[in-house]
Structure formats: structure tokens, C-alpha cells
Structure 1
Amino acid sequence: MRRRLAVLALCSAGIVAAASGGDAVSAPPPPPPMHPVAGAAGAGDPYYPDDGNGGYDALDYHVDASYDPPSGHLDGDTTVTAKATHDLSRFDLDLRGLDVHSVEVDGKPAKFTREKAFELVVTPAEPIRAGTTFRTRVRYGGDPAKTPRDGGSENGWRHSADGGAYMVGEPHSAAFWFPVNETPRDKATFTLTAHVPAGWTVVSNGREGPPGTWTDPNPVASYLTTIAIGKFGIDKSTLPDGTPVVSAYAPGAEARRATGGRLPEVLGFLSGKFGPYPQSAAGAIYLDEDIRFSLETQTRPTYAKGAELTTLVHESAHQWFGDSVSVRDWSDICLNECFASYAQWLWAERDGQNLDDRYRAAIEITHGSTDFWAQKLVDMGQGHEFEGVYNKGILALHALRRQIGDPAFDRLLHDWPSRFRHGNATWADFEAMVTRLSGQDLRGFFADWFRGTKLPADAHLFPGSLHS
């Protein structure tokens, strides 16, 4: 008995010795020293150098907003979840106009200042290490309708005819009502929890949750987020695959229910061309407002007064081209608008229209117009992004279709949304894919049609079946 205890004692001693010897499990090394620097005050788009910010990747926005329609006052409480891309001493968010009351980073009070027109500069209590996921909570408030806007497609926060409000705009939108990294380069998931008085309804992106809550689990470019507050009539249904459909009709827009009711038909047709519907939900927001444009707000496009079925086709096509696959730079906006516009031609072809005849007629009308052909479709210059993409862009895509042939063009329509699903892409990516699918040298074609400022050469103007 005593011998056995001695043996056990020796064994125990050996174990202890081994644990403290050369084979011991060493403690993890201390983290490397940090070298924190400020995040950039812009994301790098040459057309809008102050838009967006650097130093982090936004992952999620949770916007909690209370809005009082009679006074127009909004109180916001937004949490931005992000991942640091380098050691951060400070970073910026974009927020226009509204007064900031407090900022916290990971639950600790942070210093903040306002710089330039819309920079909210946040200095956390401690530097943030690269690769760390951190949460920034901003409490703010004010009347967002009083924030200056540039006009055009920058619509800003607007009061609606029924006394409510709505928010659409491009390229600037989200920063009018919540702090954001306002660049399409940094997409993130989005949740809105809205509080409004009884009798008012809030509609936003994605799937409807508890009252006033909307969540899109797919990444969203910030200008494609939205909020609409009104006395809406709501229609709900599902697509054949179970995707929820929620459409809202403002007072005065009820007659457009007949158009809105065709959404499943339109999405079914486009799915046949572009591949499976890529969004978490579907629907529409039909306003009775005289704004100059409708907008492809993700999952639930916003329609101005007078929007017709062709507009429904256009904005629905954006759910693939522009929403799921987003531009990296605004100079590549043709990747959004040229394809959404050509979808309207595809719809007309479905109804029996000969697109070659339509193309030739358009060329005959525009043949002598130097202004029409001077519109560049790529690298068009800041402020000119939306000039040629809706008309010349359609002709360019039809010419491309005839240049590479229907089999390659059909693969392009499927492969592009699939390859870059829920991400970003560039014009260089597009040219590379078309070249690979067609097996052709298309440098001259792209130079003539997309970067050129005059009528393309006949070989590019009338390719394939258009030549006959």
C-alpha cells in the first residue's frame, strides 16, 4: 500500500515536471503594438471624394426612429456595426443636418465633432484594433426636411401630400436621416424600427417584423434604403417561391393597384432572363407625389405619380442590376441603368415587338444628333451620370446583343447577377466577362459605344442581324 502511494506520488511529480518543462503549453504572445491612425474622410470615388469613409467596413445598421408627422420632428437612435480595416484612432460617419446628442463606441462615451457639410467625426475612448468588430451608437434629432439638398435626384427628406414623409434620393439619401457610410462601395444589412402616432403606417426595406420593424438580411447600398410614412393602403401576398410581397399605396395612388398587382408577373419574366430573384422580399411604395423620378429602393421600389408598367419593369430589373450587384464607382452607373432600361425592351419583345426594327428606327431618328451621341456611358464625368444611360444605353446594349449573339448575351444576363450577387462590380469586370463569354476582341466596340462621343462606326452601329 505504501509502495503504491509512492509510485503515484512519483507519477504525479513527473506530470508536474512535464507541465513546467520544455513541452509546456506556452501562454499566448501579447498582441502586437497598435499604430492607430484616423480613418479616411472619403471612400475614394473620384466623382464624390467626400462621400463615404475609410478605416472600416460597415456590417449592419439598426435605425430606431421616432417621427411626429405634425411637427416634422425625428428622433433617431442608430447603431452601426462595423469591422476596423486598420488600427483606428478615429473614424467618420456621414450625417446631414440633424443635431447629434451623444455617441458611444462599444458602450463607452466617445468624443465627436461635425466637419464639412456632413462628416460626423468620432473619437472613441480607446483606439480600435484592426480586425475588431465594434458598435457605434448615435443619438440625434431634428427636422430632416430642413436639411439643404442639391436638387436633381438628391430629393432629401420630403413631406407627402397626406401629411406624412418619404425619403428617396441618388446618390445621397441615407445620411439625411441616419448616420451611415454613404457610399455604394460599403453595403451592409439594414433594420428599421420606427415609431409613429396611431393611424400612421411605416414602410421600408426587406421583410416586415413586429409593428414598425423592417429588416433586410441582404447587404444594401445606403442610397437604396428608404422610409415612407403615410396613410397607406397595404396589399400583401407572396411570390410562388414564398417570398413576401408588401405594396403600399398612398391616398390618391389607389388606381395604380392594377399596375402593382402585375409585379409577380414581371418578376417571373425577369427571373427567366436574369436568374432567381435575389432579394429577401418584394413589393412597392406608390406615392402620389410629383417627384422627377422613381427609385429602385431595395426590395420595395418607390414610385412617383404617373409611374406606369414600364417603370415597374425598370425598377424591378434594378433588383438584380444595381441593388444585388452594385456599382463601385458612380462612373459605372451604366451597369445599373443601361440594363434596367434594356429590360423595358425585353418586356416589349415578350409582347411581340421586333427589337431590331425598333433599334433601326431609333438610329434613324438620332443619326444626326450630335448632342445624343456626345453622351458618354462610361467615365462621363461628375454630374453627367444620368444623361445617356436611359436612351443611348438601350441602343448600346442592343448593339452588343447583336454583336456577340443571343446565346452569349443570354449567358451574360444570367452570369453577371450570379457572379457578383450581393456585391460590387466595375465596368472593367463587365468588359472582361463579355469578352470571355463572346470570345471576341471588343475593345473597339466598347470604345465606340460606351466611351465615344460621336456616332459609332457602321461595323459597330449595325452588327450581326442589324447589318441586313
Structure 2
Amino acid sequence: MHHRTAVRVVCLTLAAAGLAACTVSRSNDSSARSSAEEAPPAATSDSAGDPYYPEDGNPGYDVTAYHVKISYDPPKQALRGDTLVTAKASTSLPEFNLDLQGLEVSAVTVGGEEAKFTREGDHELVITPAEPIAQGDTFETRVQYSGTPESAEAGSLGENGWQRSSSGGAFAAGEPHSATSWYPANDTPRDKATFKLDARVPNGWSVVSNGLESPATPGNDGWTTFHWNEPNRVATYLTTVGIDKWTFERSTLPSGVPVVSAYAPGAEGKKSVESRLPEIIAFLESKFGPYPQSAAGGIYINENIGFSLETQGRPIYAAWAEEPVVVHENAHQWYGNSVTVDQWKDICLNECFASYAQWLWDEAKYGANLDEQYRTEVARSTGHLWTGKLYDMGAGNEFTAVYEKGPLALHALRREIGDEAFNKVLKEWPTRYRDDNASWSDFEKLVTETSGKDLTAFFDAWFRGDAQPADEFLYPGPLRK
């Protein structure tokens, strides 16, 4: 995700200075401490156990696949949905929950048998199958529903979830919530699954989503169905749908990965920005390793929302997004999408690294001197910059310090452990945890392993602290004049 204010502050900074790589390490003692700190609370019947969002997600099963079918009438803002959720039970399930906001459920089946269901709270769909599901069984839940989708909530960067566009279409985007405003899901980043979408809209409208595109199928009723399939596992908040009168551009990366970019009415001028995508992905591959997604591209909306978002393989860009944001959101395809946070307090693993990727891009492409940029940013900083924590920052504070303090911290880490170790870490992290979840503790362990250095105090000062680091950590190695 890229915050609009942060984009403007950081991007101006980047253009003026240079970029470098970052490094991190830690000691065995701090690794043990961090592992204890990050042990998740026991999940309750309607919680995946994230302390920041205790009502999100559900335990007892692992979703392996979503097949979402929707029909949407833009003038009426009316949605009809028919979603199949395939999951494996990790315990016996006499009942289980899915997350779904607002929409009216008309029928639920489990394994083809009619199931009882009730609604609890704002988003819990409680399902009682005809027979309890045995531990280890794979089961299919079909939910049929309809209504007018609503946004999930107003987050710190703006509305989350289903949003109506100025052209009369609609799109879904938001972090940490978005998916459950338009389909039932186990809404936690810990439960990643494949995602398939069949979206039916009136002729003249079109649909863009994640993954691989199949040819649209026109009906005899004035409606057309669009087909998208993401074969890589994806966290729910990284799924999307965009319904509009899109202008599509299609191409292929040198590696053979298909590229589909879509432009809403009024956003066609962004084609020049998106034209650098192959170069950007090639650069990021040089830093992070092979591109990890099934497809690439971008979704350019003509809306001044407060953020752009790294929806898997095909980011959503607000009207103000420019080249640095394309770098940022595509860096997330490794840091955040392929390797996904274990808990939301680990969000620096996403945002600090995507923000620092902008620094690296400016260093490589524009000759930015990152050491000078770093010193300039530290010199002009105020107390507000330092009070934000980068790890375990508290619910509602995830998307604050990570954009400005985050790249400073990573540049200091790079200078602390050296380019060789840092560059090795940058590639090893998305290789070791590809298509998985990982925590900040896991990252510190990797850096310790790679650098052989005890950086307990360094990590405490930069990532766990809420004050300006002492000079020994603020100006490591060549940063010290």
C-alpha cells in the first residue's frame, strides 16, 4: 500500500537524493525474545487470533480455494453472488464461521447438503452443516447472497472495501479489509488460497481482477461474463474486482508472464507511467529474485482515494499515482504478497521494504546518493517521525511510520551489515518464505544467520523504539562523518 501523503513526501525526497540497500541482523537472545513476543493468542471460535483485529478470520479450517461468481448491475448497484469455498478442517467442526459484511444470504450448502446459518455481529456468518465435518476432511461451502455492497470501514488511509467510481462502476480495495464486502471469506492474511472469479456485467461494461485472464463469454441476455484466475495463493485483502468501461492493454514480459493493464475512463493518460512496468519488474528481479506472481499489470482508477494498493499481480492505482508508486506496489509482489505477514504488527515487512525499493530505484536509475539523502532526512526530522514504532505499532497505526521512518531504518541496517549481506538477505527472504506467511522475528533470524552479527540493540532502537536512535545506531559505518 502507498499512502498518498507519504507518496508525496517520500517521492520528493527520493528524487533529490540517492538510494541504497538495507541490512538487518540480530542475536540469538533477541530472536528468542521476539519469538515469545509474537506467539499468537489462542484463536477463539470466531477469531484467527490477531490481537489487532480479534474479530477477523476464523480458526478450525484452512481455505484452499475461492471460486467467486457475481453478477453486478452498475446503474442499480445490485450484486448477486454465488461463492464456493473449498477448505480443509484442522479440527472437528460441528459449526464454523465465514466473514461477510452486509449482504443478505439466501442459501448455504456444505458438501452439497443444505446447512443452517445465522448472522452474528457485523460480519460473522455462522454455518451449521447437516453433519459435523471431521478433522482432516476437505469440504466445500457454497454461499448464495445478494444486495448492495458497502465499504468495509473508513481506515486510516480512507474507505476500505467496495467503492463506487465516478464513472458509475465499482471497485474493491482496502487494507486490512476489503474482500468480505463482496464475497464470504476467512478474512485473515494467515489463510491464503487460490482465487477464481467469474463476473457477469451488462454489455458495455467490463471486469478486471487478479491473475490470468480467460476470454469473456457473452450471453444472449445482454450480459457478458469475464473470467479471472489467480493460481498462486493470495491473502483475501489482496483480491480485487474492478467493474468499469475499461481500456485494456495486453503484453508479455520477457519471462513469458502475461501483462494486463486496465484504465478507467479519464485515466488513459497513465499509460505512459505503466509503460515502464517491464523495466521496473526487471529491476526488482535483480534485487529480490524472479518475479513470483502468475501475471502482472495495473488497474488505474480515476479516483483520488487516499492510497494505492498492491492487489496481487495487478495493483490498483489512485489518480495521483506516478512512477515511484508503481515501483512501490510492484515491490510488494515479493514483500507482502508472495511473503505475507503473520500478524498485522509485522507490517514493516511489507511497507518498509516497498518504500525502500523506491530508494533503490532512484539510486540505480537516477544516481541518487542515498547516504546524503539519509543524512538530509535525519537532519530535517522532527520528534513526530521518531515516535512511530516500526514493529508492533498498535492497531490503527500500521500505515504511519513505515513509509518515512521505515526506509531510513533499512538504510541504516544496510550500512550496519554491509551491502553483501544485505543484498543476500533481500533475495533470500522471498525465496525462503515464498507463498507463505512470516513474521518480523523470522526476518531478524534470517539477518542474524546471514550477517553473523548481534544487532539486538540496533533492532530495539530502530524497530521497537519510539525515540530517535542513539548516534551509534543512527550513523553506522559510512553514515558517520
TM-score by length of 2: 0.88
Partner of 1:375: 388
Cα distance in 1, alignment partners of residues 152 and 60 from structure 2: 28
Residue among 55, 60, 63 paired with 2:65 = 60
- Of 373, 379, 386, the residue aligned with 1:358 is 373
Structure 1 segment 190-209 matched on structure 2, within 5 A: 190-209=195-214
Which position in structure 2 is the counterpart of 1:281?
Answer: 295
In the alignment, the residues of structure 2 paired with residue 128 and residue 53 of structure 1 have an alpha-carbon distance, to the nearest angstrom, of 15
1:309-350 CA distances to partner (integer Å, 9 max, x unpaired)? 000000000000000000010001000000000000000101
Q: Partner of 2:75 in structure 1? A: 70
**Is 1:39–1:55's contact at 8 Å kept on the other side of the alignment?**
no
CA distance in 2, matches of 1:372, 1:237: 42
How many Å apart are 1:148 and its aligned residue? 5.7
Deviation at 1:168, TM superposition (A): 0.2
The alignment's C-alpha RMSD in Å is 1.0
How many angstroms apart in 2 are the aligned matches of 1:358 and 1:88?
55
Q: Conserved in 1, the CA contact under 8 Å of 2:156 and 2:396? A: no
Among 150, 154, 159, the residue aligned to 2:154: 150
Q: Report the Cα distance in structure 1 between the residues aligned to 2:297 and 2:174, rounded to whole angstroms.
A: 19
- 8 Å Cα contact 1:39/1:92 also seen in 2: no
Does the 8 Å CA contact 2:152/2:160 hold for their aligned counterparts?
no
- Indicate yes or no: 2:266 matched with 1:252: yes
- Taking the aligned partners of 1:467 and 1:437, their CA distance within structure 2 comes to 24
Tell me whether 1:306 sits opposite 2:320 in the alignment.
yes
Residues 279-336 of structure 1 deviation map (CA, whole Å, 9 limit, x = unaligned): 0000000000010000000000000011000000000000000000000100010000
SS at match of 2:230: strand
Partner of 1:28: none
**One-letter code aligned to 1:424:** N
| Structure 2 residue 405 is matched with structure 1 residue 395 | no
User: Match for 1:174: what amino acid?
Assistant: A
Do the aligned partners of 2:156 and 2:399 also contact (CA within 8 Å) in 1?
no
Specify which of 277, 286, 307 is matched with residue 272 of structure 1: 286
CA contact (8 A) 1:105 1:134 kept: yes
- Could you say which residue in structure 2 is the equivalent of 1:420? 433
Alignment deviations for residues 16-73 of structure 1 (CA, whole Å, 9 cap, x no partner): xxxxxxxxxxxxxxxxxxxxxx972000000001100000001000000000001000
1:215 partner letter: N
User: CA offset at residue 150 of structure 1?
Assistant: 3.1
Partner in structure 2 of residue 435 of structure 1: 448
Contact (CA 8 Å) 1:39, 1:91: kept in 2 or not? no
Aligned residues: 428
Give unpaired runs (5+ residues) of structure 1: 1-37
SS at match of 1:383: coil
Please name the residue that 1:20 is paired with: none
Letter in 1 for 2:360: L
Distance, in Å, in 2 between the alignment partners of 1:40 and 1:459 is: 47
Distance 2:391 2:116 in 1: 41
Asked if 2 retains the 8 angstrom alpha-carbon contact of 1:39 and 1:56, the reply is: no
Q: Distance in 1 between matches of 2:423 and 2:188?
A: 30
CA separation of 1:39 and 1:190: change in aligned 2, threshold 3 A? farther
The one of 92, 101, 106 aligned to 1:96 = 101
Contact (CA 8 Å) 2:309, 2:315: kept in 1 or not? yes
2:236 partner letter: S
Kept in 1, the 8 Å contact 2:152–2:181? The answer is no
Counterparts of 1:285-364 in structure 2, within 5 Å, are: 285-350=299-364, 351-364=366-379
For the residues of structure 2 that align with 1:148 and 1:51, how far apart are their CA atoms? 12
CA shift for structure 1 position 159: 1.1
Alignment of 1:465 with 2:465, yes or no, is: no
Of all paired residues, the percent bearing the same amino acid is 60
SS in 2 for 1:379: coil
Amino acid at match of 2:120: E
Q: Deviation digits for residues 93-130 of structure 1, max 9, x if unmatched?
A: 00000000000000000000000110000000000010
1:331-370 alpha-carbon deviations (Å, 9 max, x no partner): 010000000000000001012111001001001001xx22
- Point out where structure 2 has 5 or more consecutive residues left out of the alignment: 1-42, 217-225
Name the aligned partner's letter for residue 153 of structure 2: R
CA offset at residue 152 of structure 1? 3.2
Match of 1:184 among 189, 205, 222: 189
Larger RCO (CA under 8 A, 6+ residues apart): 2
Equivalent position amino acid for 1:118 in 2: H
CA contact (8 A) 1:298 1:319 kept: yes
For 1:380-400, what per-residue CA distance to the aligned partner results, in whole angstroms no more than 9, with x for missing partners?
Answer: 111111110000001000000
Paired residue secondary structure (2:426): helix
Between the aligned partners of 1:392 and 1:379, the Cα distance in structure 2 is: 14
**Residues 241/330 of structure 1: CA separation in 2 closer, same or farther (3 Å cut):** same
TM-score, scaled to structure 1:
0.90
Letter in 2 for 1:353: A
> In the alignment, what sits opposite 1:449?
462
- 1:172 is the counterpart of 2:177: yes
Find the aligned partners of 2:354 and 2:233 in 1 and give their Cα distance: 20
Q: Aligned residue for 2:22?
A: none
